[in-house]
Amino acid sequence: MTDHASQRILVQASPAECFKAVMDVESYPEWIDDIKEAKVIAFDDEGRTGDATFRSAAMGRSSSYTLRYSYGSNPLRVAWRLLEGDIMRRMDGEYEFVAVEGEPGVSQVHYHLEVDLLVRLPGFVKRRLEAKIVHSAVDDLKSRVESGGSSPESLDSQSPLIT
């Protein structure tokens, strides 16, 4: 059974800055505690992350997985799906960044994640794990962009949003 969780949070940064931080996949180990290694292994036709491999700390052990990123018509949304993983059967997720009307430089970040693990866990353990993953994802991103770690000058030009 696939479990899913979502979180919304306000961030004191533009949607483009938030998007740039998420697209800088190889910097994840610098600001996401559970990610130990991240490497882009393929780019799409526009030079954005296509496929990336990760090694993370999960449930007291190391886990490896590969994600495929996709982009739709909304330039401030990125989605991913699991290509392969050692403890997951499925992992689909997305970030979407929306400007907050009337508040320049503030974004609403929406994070959604669906996971199906290969190992069975009691319901309460799964819910705690989901909450930790989702809260960490948005809290770590918020800390990264609000500290200036994702300023346009500090990142490459992978996104067409900032020229």
Containing domain of residue 104, as a range? 3-153
In a domain? residue 104: yes
Res 2: pLDDT:
57
Question: Cα–Cα distance between 49 and 102 in angstroms, integer?
Answer: 32
To the question of pTM greater than 0.85 for the whole model, the response is no
**pLDDT one-digit tens code per residue, 96-108:** 999 999 999 999 9
Structurally, how many domains does the chain consist of?
Answer: 1
CATH code at 72? 3.30.530.20
In a domain? residue 57: yes
DSSP 59: T
Dihedral angle, C-alpha 117, 123, 128, 133, nearest 10 °: 20
In a domain? residue 159: no
In a domain? residue 28: yes
Residues of the chain with pLDDT under 70: 1-2, 58-59, 121-133, 149-163
In a domain? residue 35: yes
In a domain? residue 162: no
Res 153: pLDDT:
42
